[in-house]
Structure 1
């Protein structure tokens, strides 16, 4: 069987194919970029005032390349649409035999029935009518038609290719092969290799493998906060192209260093990465360095949360984990260790804060808010009236939390025994919440339940597991952090004697008014009195932490009173019942087996 290829001379079939493939690629990509960027922009737009509002520059050229490709793609879509609309399609004439109309068509197109000028046309039409009649009446012709589509037998098969003939002609084939070679031999392998290289360089939390190796090797349980900061600044991320040191920046960095040391000499140089400053509040005039400063803060925050802190909590190191949480607060608020929490307020700087502490003995924000209004004004007399009002306004916004109730219990039991499963239930309240708390639970609240009421506690835990908090976390007031930051809290439960975390810290991301958290752990194997620490610590605010000691009595099983016998309310079956007859039958069988055993023993 032969084959004959016919090419799409008009190009319309190829245009349809190319338009479909291009539309399936360009349209979803455009919608994703437009909808995604719009949604993220609205969500991440900060509502609190910012001292640093410069956006972090994206050094990558991929957005520009993506934009150019989208423009080219849409241009091709419009061009192909125009071609499809304006190109005329030559409709193929299909021969279709129709036996019932044979006689009518013969009467109409027989050459003897038409005029002289139509005899040639009538002859052609009559030949087609006869051919159709033969196909429908001759079995061999019908078989050929069913097999090969032609009553005369196998013919050359014609197949259409949706490509212009120009693309397969001899003089254009080298250019087509070159294009295919560039696409599949260079462009595609380049981007696939680039994607694979970048994916193998990073952990799942977007941290470089060398950085995680450095953290695993050098972090210790008993490590100082200063050494943790030094370990953080040694991350490989700070030597990447966007943040690496350049000799042209040396003069500016030296001036910044001298200024920081002049303002605060305590560990001033430790707030630098190997080449860049990342926690100082001092403004940087150089726009590029200021953008790098913001990018370093965001990168450092990710390294703390998803790198160092995960390693520390994985080892259950309580002291190391709490120090890393404090570093997170420093990064968000632009402070350094030993800085006063009062410096989170606008207008309070390294210059006037020592004076406030020396003259008025005011160090923290809660300490300031506990003073009467006139005393607050006296304490902040270094500020003008407008600055004072602004500082008090944002001091009231900073959340003040308390542990309203903390309970250790074994569900269904009144005492805690060795190796039993203990449930910690803690209710955390924001005392200065902007909105009123709405109870999510029906029935008694955990604050109203007595420690001995095990049934009520079990019922509360069951109801709590079915009701999820729908509160939205408020935005953090952090003027020196470039970007929106939502308030989050860590709830840590640790053994005071061993300095180990009992369970990994619980991340509470929606604490707006109040929240009840629960976690289970195994009691110690030995009876006695154990002291635990329940710590609620913010990841953004400095000086808002709450610590409460909890004592747990583990009772010895041997000293517990015996359990009361359970009364059996099952009555004996009546004599004439089926159950009584079955019991009697089993008794006889058992007696027979005992007699046999006794006789065998006597023998």
Structure 2
């Protein structure tokens, strides 16, 4: 037997090779492209409003530009190209299958099934001999049947018959796959012969060298470098380093804006000639002063000096664009206005990095300032600007008409909605707003998801007392009450309780997922967890991104100014927020944050901060007290609540009475239960003891007998 290596001359196996390699890339890419997005921004409802801000077309253009990036265009093209290659190779397989001779099969030649026995084979052979034998069959030129084809066909029939009936030939076929015994062994190489013909070898080497020596290392290196050059907050490591250098313990909100301008991401937005284009015009706009200008009080002396001290270039222009965005300044240049809108989402992402840095230091003021900066960037308002400017059509002139010229503090949106109607309509009476514009503003305000805290308390799951170093939960019960809501129902006291899961329900205690059967089939869900309800997207007409609001909750030590428990972030709720008609449900929502209790017993008073990152002036600040008891107190309570002795009217109770020698005494646990549940007196307890005693004696005697 000889072994022969040959190339795939007819292209029979080459398509299988290409399909396999292509599918390894195409299938994962296709899944990545088609899998549904889990981003809340794609599924959350929206606040209904027909308000169109200034430069709405530019803002919408930036939103579409971002969505094009999220569509993963390159991956879509790669997936389509992969499927086209697979389809082409599949077509080649079909074509080559028609021209390649099939594997010789005696059953197929005779036209019988593989389950036929020898008797059936011989019977079928005799029938074929009556029609297919050369003496019986006749040539037919019309059907292209010649004498040679008749003879060849009969030879094949005889060969197949002997293969299935002759023992030696049959053994050869079974063992070697051929009636004549061992044959030469051929190994096919899945490369078309034309690809390795003389003169083509160098091209093959170039292709393999390019793929294995250049393309593959480049892709792996690019992936590795891409994972290493960004932080967990998805900002460049260089940007995080720049922001870290700008951090100071008492940095202000405006100081954070200056720190964010150091991000390296802005180099891509303002690359080339964009770094200097229109810089002088930009600074002239934001530094000019005048009554009635929306940017009148954007920059203080410190911020002016910060801007002027920067060398010309990307950072100086970025800082100017950020202040122009926060002041809603019309730069009277389409390119500058477009850049102003584009830098805001990038600064918002960089602010996450600043928050992480501030949390590492643990100072409360910088963390609060970073959360307020998120609010300012989403609402396009400078630090300290009136919160009412978040409402559609509201300008500084409108706010001044409502608050009064000599107002020392600004009204929050919920305070504005509680004003008498005639006060709210001052701007309308002065001709600054139309009636329709005011109604639109009131409609938007009445849809804002303001979280009102009804109750906040500490607990340990399954325990009555909190002991040192135990795992504590801060449970916050609150309701979404939009500004201006009327007919707010009273809170049901039962909704303010937090019931622990059953003692044996380990899945619920540990928050694990389990399989449940639904109408759509079996799926994994968290135990005791209702459907997650999303709040509406933030009403941010100037921000060129869709943003789902987040609520940050953390505990601070007011004496030291340090963070005691880092922020927990919530984006969904456990109960519906609004009904189908848009009216609020006023359901009590439950938010929980878990942390370790202090190692020493005592009373610990914290300041709880609850901050929404999307709206200004709707935050909550309140004191909460954590009482940590001695561990011995919990042990005493545990001993009191131990399992009671078995009742004497049971077999276990009788056996226990015999062991202890107490045949007359009633169980102490029963006495306690009667006093607690029934509130009966000691006399009634005694009567119960007497009855128990007589019954016990009788039962015991019976057992002895």
TM-score (norm 2): 0.65
Q: Is the 8 A contact 1:402 1:428 kept in 2?
A: yes
| Residues 180-229 of structure 1: per-residue CA shift (max 9 Å, x gap) | 22223322222222112111212233222233344456535443334333
Answer yes or no: is 1:94 the counterpart of 2:95.
Answer: no
Aligned position for 1:299? 346
- The 5 A counterparts of 1:189-228 are 189-216=217-244, 219-228=247-256
Distance 1:412 1:351, change over 3 A: same
Distance 1:288 1:421, change over 3 A: same
Q: Is the 8 A contact 1:529 1:551 kept in 2?
A: yes
Secondary structure of the structure 2 residue equivalent to 1:275:
helix
Q: Is the 8 A contact 1:312 1:320 kept in 2?
A: yes
- The 5 A counterparts of 1:294-373 are 294-305=341-352, 307-350=353-396, 353-354=399-400, 356-359=402-405, 361=407, 363-364=410-411, 365-373=413-421
Q: Is the 8 A contact 2:176 2:182 kept in 1?
A: yes
Structure 1 residue 119, shift from structure 2 partner: 9.5
Find the aligned partners of 2:469 and 2:22 in 1 and give their Cα distance: 64
Aligned position for 2:563? 501
Aligned position for 1:377? 425
Find the aligned partners of 1:94 and 1:159 in 2 and give their Cα distance: 18
Structure 1 residue 504, shift from structure 2 partner: 1.6
Aligned position for 2:624? 550
| Residues 232-268 of structure 1: per-residue CA shift (max 9 Å, x gap) | 22233333xx224544452423222221222324336
Answer yes or no: is 1:54 the counterpart of 2:61.
Answer: yes
- The 5 A counterparts of 1:457-496 are 466-468=528-530, 470-496=532-558
Aligned position for 1:432? 482
Answer yes or no: is 1:177 the counterpart of 2:239.
Answer: no
Distance 1:121 1:460, change over 3 A: closer
Stretches of structure 1 lacking an aligned partner (at least 5 in a row) = 450-455, 582-603
- Pick the aligned partner of 2:283 from 257, 269, 283: 257
Question: 193-202 vs 262-271, which deviates more?
Answer: 262-271
Q: Is the 8 A contact 2:602 2:629 kept in 1?
A: yes
| Residues 51-80 of structure 1: per-residue CA shift (max 9 Å, x gap) | 321225479899665565556555545554
Q: Is the 8 A contact 1:3 1:156 kept in 2?
A: yes
Q: Is the 8 A contact 2:45 2:537 kept in 1?
A: no
Question: 268-277 vs 329-338, which deviates more?
Answer: 268-277
Aligned position for 1:586? none
Question: 401-410 vs 523-532, which deviates more?
Answer: 523-532
Aligned position for 2:216? 188
Distance 1:332 1:78, change over 3 A: same
Q: Is the 8 A contact 1:473 1:488 kept in 2?
A: no
Question: 126-135 vs 509-518, which deviates more?
Answer: 126-135
Aligned position for 1:391? 441
Q: Is the 8 A contact 2:401 2:426 kept in 1?
A: no
Find the aligned partners of 1:274 and 1:522 in 2 and give their Cα distance: 45
Aligned position for 1:587? none
TM-score (norm 1): 0.75
Structure 1 residue 444, shift from structure 2 partner: 1.9
Q: Is the 8 A contact 1:531 1:549 kept in 2?
A: yes
Question: 1-10 vs 383-392, which deviates more?
Answer: 1-10
Q: Is the 8 A contact 2:607 2:624 kept in 1?
A: yes
Distance 1:123 1:444, change over 3 A: closer
Distance 1:147 1:223, change over 3 A: same
Find the aligned partners of 1:486 and 1:112 in 2 and give their Cα distance: 88
Find the aligned partners of 1:556 and 1:576 in 2 and give their Cα distance: 34
Distance 1:301 1:15, change over 3 A: same
Structure 1 residue 540, shift from structure 2 partner: 0.7
Q: Is the 8 A contact 1:346 1:390 kept in 2?
A: yes
Aligned position for 2:611? 537
Find the aligned partners of 1:420 and 1:168 in 2 and give their Cα distance: 72
Answer yes or no: is 1:166 the counterpart of 2:194.
Answer: yes
| Residues 520-562 of structure 1: per-residue CA shift (max 9 Å, x gap) | 55565667665321222110101111212235566789999x9
Find the aligned partners of 2:550 and 2:419 in 1 and give their Cα distance: 28
Aligned position for 1:585? none
Aligned position for 2:697? none
Q: Is the 8 A contact 1:403 1:429 kept in 2?
A: yes
Find the aligned partners of 1:136 and 1:460 in 2 and give their Cα distance: 74
Distance 1:409 1:107, change over 3 A: closer
| Residues 484-520 of structure 1: per-residue CA shift (max 9 Å, x gap) | 1122211222222222223222212125454222345
Q: Is the 8 A contact 2:52 2:541 kept in 1?
A: yes
Find the aligned partners of 2:163 and 2:77 in 1 and give their Cα distance: 62
Structure 1 residue 121, shift from structure 2 partner: 6.5
Secondary structure of the structure 2 residue equivalent to 1:483:
coil
Distance 1:556 1:155, change over 3 A: closer
Secondary structure of the structure 1 residue equivalent to 2:99:
coil
Distance 1:412 1:163, change over 3 A: closer
Question: 113-122 vs 186-195, which deviates more?
Answer: 113-122
Structure 1 residue 329, shift from structure 2 partner: 0.5
Question: 85-94 vs 365-374, which deviates more?
Answer: 85-94
Distance 1:352 1:295, change over 3 A: same
Find the aligned partners of 1:90 and 1:354 in 2 and give their Cα distance: 88
Find the aligned partners of 1:356 and 1:541 in 2 and give their Cα distance: 20
Q: Is the 8 A contact 2:244 2:357 kept in 1?
A: yes
Answer yes or no: is 1:243 the counterpart of 2:269.
Answer: yes
- The 5 A counterparts of 1:523-602 are 530-551=604-625, 579=659
Find the aligned partners of 2:236 and 2:491 in 1 and give their Cα distance: 42
Distance 1:342 1:334, change over 3 A: same
Answer yes or no: is 1:234 the counterpart of 2:281.
Answer: no
Find the aligned partners of 1:130 and 1:414 in 2 and give their Cα distance: 90
Secondary structure of the structure 2 residue equivalent to 1:470:
coil
Question: 266-275 vs 570-579, which deviates more?
Answer: 570-579
Distance 1:206 1:101, change over 3 A: same
Q: Is the 8 A contact 1:135 1:151 kept in 2?
A: no
Aligned position for 2:572? 510
Q: Is the 8 A contact 2:345 2:545 kept in 1?
A: no
Find the aligned partners of 1:444 and 1:408 in 2 and give their Cα distance: 17
- The 5 A counterparts of 1:118-129 are 129=158
Structure 1 residue 373, shift from structure 2 partner: 0.7
Question: 466-475 vs 70-79, which deviates more?
Answer: 70-79
Distance 1:563 1:135, change over 3 A: closer
